[in-house]
Amino acid sequence: MVNARVYLSAPDVSGVEERYLVNALRSGWVAPVGPDLTEFEREIARRCATAHAVGVSSGTAALHLALLALGVGPGQAVVVPTLTFAATANAVVYTGAEPVFVDSLPGDGNADPDLVARAVGDLHREGRTVGAVVPVDLFGSVADHAAYADAAPGVPLVEDAAEALGAHRDGRPAGSFGRAAALSFNGNKILTTSGGGMLVTDDGALAERCRHLATQAREPVEHYEHRDVGYNYRLSNLLAALGRGQLTRLDEMIDRRRRLREAYLKLFAAVPGTRLLGDGDPGANCWLTTLVVEPGQAGWAAADLGAWLAARDIETRPVWKPMHRQPVYAERRAWLTGVADRLFETGLNLPSGSGLRDDDRRRVFEAIEAFLATR
């Protein structure tokens, strides 16, 4: 095991999760309904300080349902940060609406509120309907949602908090901003159900609409009656049990990621031309720690360190490739400053998992120190 591969953000599961899962299996609730799902929804709603939560099969499904419930559809535009995982934009396309992109702030990589205002203003002047703004809490740093609300008055906000469970800003938890928020429990996220997600909201009618659409839009009558085209988007009770086990360990897992980030901060403190993205955000859940390297000042590039670590079986990853540079989205409209492009060129996500063992962590840090010594 000494030379096993070190992953960027491997699932961190323990005997606790095993007990929850086995209990659910033995209970007979092997369905997308059951007591663990109901309880998991309650627990996540409590954690996100929202009145309602709807467990679904993925974070992407949560985004899709939130947009549908807000009436987003063909002919409308939806503002999305260019620096995100493709799922944010894909969910918009599923509704028939058009995703348009805005650039990032250099500090934490989250969407630039001034550009949100410009995009919404330009679209409104052209007579377009802006169905929603979907800001992302990038790598677990909650974005300035109050600034987006000011930038887009009257336009509903859907918080893509897929990466941000457990993070907070100004005393408010991720998931509590906007009309609704989407969480992801994918395998590499801070809390995993192997695959899964949740929609959280204070709006009871919106939650009910999403729950209905997620269960094939089946009407509450004995025979199968459908007034809408629904989706098979519910979370399985077994996976919800796994999620409940994970949730008992969320604070501990965040704490481990935070301590890892602090160690990286120390390691790079005296290295010229380097910084950590979103450094100084006290509410970050530290899902991924991102090193930013200005090669002109450092004398080396982020990709050089990435290649060095890859040769030692240590996984790193570039930051999300901006949507306006993706072949599938290159033709879409975008309000750009070059910040996201720059972060894509200079950023590197470092191993950040809460399950990183002490010996692996030592290996990572020794490898980085050895790299820096060659410069």
Ligand X SMILES: *Cc1c(COP(=O)(O)O)cnc(C)c1O
254 neighbors 49 (Cβ within 8 angstroms): no
Question: C-alpha distances in angstroms, 240 versus 35, 44, 121?
Answer: 9, 11, 42
110 binds ligand X (CB under 6 A): no
Comparison of 59 and 351: residue with beta carbon closer to ligand X: 59
Residue number closest to ligand X, CB atom: 59
349 binds ligand X (CB under 6 A): no
Residue bearing tokens 């950040």: 352
Q: C-alpha angle with apex 319: 318 to 321, nearest 5 degrees?
A: 95
Distance separating alpha carbons of residues 344 and 326, to the nearest angstrom: 12
Neighbouring residues of 38: CB distance < 8 A, sequence distance ≥ 6: none
Binding characters for ligand X, 44-63, by CB under 6 A (x = yes): --------------xxx---
Q: Which of 50, 76, 82, 88 binds ligand X (CB under 6 A)?
A: 88
Distance separating alpha carbons of residues 177 and 48, to the nearest angstrom: 9
Q: Which of 95, 184, 246, 274 binds ligand X (CB under 6 A)?
A: 184
246 binds ligand X (CB under 6 A): no
235 binds ligand X (CB under 6 A): no
67 neighbors 91 (Cβ within 8 angstroms): yes
339 binds ligand X (CB under 6 A): no
42 neighbors 53 (Cβ within 8 angstroms): yes
Comparison of 50 and 186: residue with beta carbon closer to ligand X: 186
Task: Write down the least CB distance from residue 136 to ligand X, Å.
Answer: 5
Reduced to 3 states, what is the DSSP secondary structure of residue 330?
coil
186 binds ligand X (CB under 6 A): yes
325 neighbors 276 (Cβ within 8 angstroms): no
347 binds ligand X (CB under 6 A): no
Name beta bridge partners: 99: 78
Q: Which of 41, 98, 160, 281 binds ligand X (CB under 6 A)?
A: 160
Comparison of 87 and 368: residue with beta carbon closer to ligand X: 87
75 neighbors 232 (Cβ within 8 angstroms): no
290 binds ligand X (CB under 6 A): no
85 binds ligand X (CB under 6 A): yes
Task: Write down the least CB distance from residue 344 to ligand X, Å.
Answer: 15
Comparison of 36 and 160: residue with beta carbon closer to ligand X: 160
Count the residues of the shown chain that bind ligand X, applying the rule CB under 6 A. Answer: 14
Question: Which residues of the chain form contacts with ligand X (CB under 6 A)?
Answer: 58-60, 84-85, 87-88, 136, 160, 162-163, 184, 186, 197
